[in-house]
Structure 1
């Protein structure tokens, strides 16, 4: 029989009730006679986790993932690909385990519309799916009007590579083909955006590649912010590994980019007018398009949710996890999305079975490579306070500022282990 105690046991076994890392598997399904249908839009870190853990908490629920891609290339780890440390196959995952081992329906179509009154999702092939609860995990979209001259079409020339796939491969090709002694320029995004340390890990990985293959190249970053995640650790690592190769300028330096001349590869800001051989523009961001279409976003461009359950504040019975949701102090990261997915799965199952959701404490773990054998990390633990996820005082932390080569090398190894563990948990076990 399904009850609150059995759910809490299942959550504990799944690593989301009091666990800091949330990667362990639950071996025993909790069964009920609900016969309910849940549709999940998006098969990334958040959506795939929700689907899998709903089935683990209550195997009687019929779960369908709507995901147009037959394989999913992760953004976490994609910077490593730019350095030549991993290949595309390493970063690419399919849905076969979710289908065969967890009895999840996976439909490779695009969700085109949602009828909230009828509780149906229409797909681009005309198929209509009914749901009792809907979970939306669409990731990010870009604010293409944020910088004059930069558009979706322009990104095929000056790639963003902030959605892994063809853009990642295009940027890698441009890096490899950059002239000896050339300049790589990154235009960093304003807050909030996917993966706070991500742009700075990317600078590091490009430098790692150049150190081996183009040692006289220079790297410049123009950033509309004055600080970024793990800044002192990154900058210390840059000096240690790359000397003066990487130059970073923030808003205080006038580095907010206002215009880009795509054809002439020229960037304009108060700081300077700069021409570069390779320009990586990471635009300002917002929730994925389907979230706007459904009406799940507010004036911020993101999705407000009840942060103990991840149910939308705007539409009851619809849940949002991952980069698109507003989750208090939790950053927009793959780890956050997966942990949110496990809690959301519990919230959906309790909702379907007329139970109260247990109180949550959640976490984000983020490893970054500064060099191929030089890792740093940050961990945050969060719990709802007056309805908002806030950092738990005294929990979490960052890597030591002064550390030996062996310690940095261990953290680099931990980064690869983290990636293998979390992707196995989501797509392969």
Structure 2
């Protein structure tokens, strides 16, 4: 089924529907604190507040006042979107849904006393906690790179100023220069994302700097939508893009930001722009709270998104181990609705329906050349398991690819409203 704004919201409302009972008489309203205001956290806060009809006191903790979505940020780099189109505020969550939005950093979680400590020194009590902090980077996963190097070699894997910086650097490349991407190992946020980004940068260079080259240094043997991207690169950007996989040293790379050099299996490459996307782990607060395992991510109960470390905490989105689900904005939004229903059921006695999850990831390869991959999922005892799926096919005609891209625009409008109100 094609998704547009109306059908996405309709499906979202159906998926999250539950009739809430009032809070227990004689007690104060139960308290829910949500850490992280992205696709997972903001959705969870909105659905808990909306569907409990005021029976639950919801506080959302998010340090930024304007949130830039990582999904569609590549289209900004490619010149298909304005930065303002992926920027969202939290005013509607506060004014229309009664959510207490606190712009601060969560710096500690005391699971025994059920309190969250903020950087300001204040603390928040909770009956249930939702943790959706997104990702942080694994230290030293790319030798020579750390956050001190993100100005010279931006990651742009957290959208906003880093995305602006990378776009500027690409547009300022010298004629015939070299753009290099150091791609991340699995698992990472948005599996098709690096390769859509390459496509968008190739789109810019094809128009502005057609003799420039793109080099992808990739530790993975294969990647999401590989056949679709490679077909598109050959069709639209023939001769511009070269990918070095692990068989040719892609898994053995280091960077020298001051010299603007990338060392690939001992061979030194001089580059003009370098986009380093390091290995990833759950956001820092998840580790401080003791919710992550040795993988760096957080194990959850598939039916409720509850942490396996603490039944009073739910972990969503990029930070969690979601079985067959990819780390995407759509996944986080879907998981948030399941968690919100579980939280309402636990705190107000409302009915909880069986959990169902879904995801679609769209990518733009060139103007009106859109592709997608998606699936539906259900929980098992062990994991969130894929039930069925779909993917665009190589050789599709231009009309279908254009329709797929237009479908993605409707989806973005719908999910943005579903998250931020």
Tell me which interval the TM-score lies in, with the shorter structure as reference length.
over 0.9
Deviation readout 1:87-120 (Å, 9 max, x if unpaired): 1110100001111111111011111211111111
Cα pair 1:364 1:379 within 8 Å, conserved: yes
Cα pair 1:74 1:164 within 8 Å, conserved: yes
* Alignment-derived partner of residue 8 in structure 1: none
Cα pair 1:24 1:425 within 8 Å, conserved: no
In 2, Cα distance between equivalents of 1:231 and 1:166: 29
Question: Of the candidates 392, 403, 407, which is equivalent to residue 396 of structure 2?
Answer: 403
1:244 matched to 2:244? The reply is: no
In 1, Cα distance between equivalents of 2:374 and 2:17: 27
Count residues with an aligned counterpart. Answer: 411
1:308 matched to 2:308? The reply is: no
In 1, Cα distance between equivalents of 2:324 and 2:140: 27
In 2, Cα distance between equivalents of 1:233 and 1:23: 33
Please give the residue correspondences for 1:13-92 in structure 2 after superposition, counting only pairs within 5 Å.
Answer: 22=12, 30-34=20-24, 35-59=29-53, 60-92=55-87
Deviation readout 1:201-227 (Å, 9 max, x if unpaired): 000000111111111111110100010
Question: Of the candidates 84, 87, 96, which is equivalent to residue 91 of structure 2?
Answer: 96
In 2, Cα distance between equivalents of 1:382 and 1:272: 44
In 1, Cα distance between equivalents of 2:334 and 2:237: 35
1:149 match: secondary structure = coil
Please give the residue correspondences for 1:2-401 in structure 2 after superposition, counting only pairs within 5 Å.
Answer: 22=12, 30-34=20-24, 35-59=29-53, 60-270=55-265, 272-354=267-349, 357-392=352-387, 395-401=388-394
Shift of 1:24: 6.3
Shift of 1:304: 0.5
Stretches of structure 2 that go unaligned for 5 or more consecutive residues are 1-6
* Alignment-derived partner of residue 3 in structure 2: none
2:48 match: secondary structure = helix
Q: 1:83 to 1:271 in 2, by over 3 A?
A: farther
1:370 match: secondary structure = strand
In 1, Cα distance between equivalents of 2:74 and 2:158: 11
In 2, Cα distance between equivalents of 1:302 and 1:192: 10
Cα pair 2:364 2:405 within 8 Å, conserved: yes
In 2, Cα distance between equivalents of 1:28 and 1:103: 19
Cα pair 1:29 1:55 within 8 Å, conserved: no
CA RMSD of aligned residues (A): 2.0
Shift of 1:241: 1.0
Cα pair 1:31 1:57 within 8 Å, conserved: no
Deviation readout 1:356-399 (Å, 9 max, x if unpaired): 7432221111100001211000011111233311111xx22101
Shift of 1:56: 2.5
Shift of 1:229: 0.4
Shift of 1:31: 4.5
* Alignment-derived partner of residue 415 in structure 1: 408
In 2, Cα distance between equivalents of 1:26 and 1:292: 29
1:86 match: secondary structure = coil
Q: 1:23 to 1:219 in 2, by over 3 A?
A: farther
* Alignment-derived partner of residue 418 in structure 2: 425
Say which structure, 1 or 2, has more relative contact order (CA 8 Å, 6+ apart). 2
Shift of 1:315: 1.4
Shift of 1:266: 1.1
Shift of 1:235: 0.6
Normalised TM-score (structure 1):
0.92
In 1, Cα distance between equivalents of 2:287 and 2:397: 47
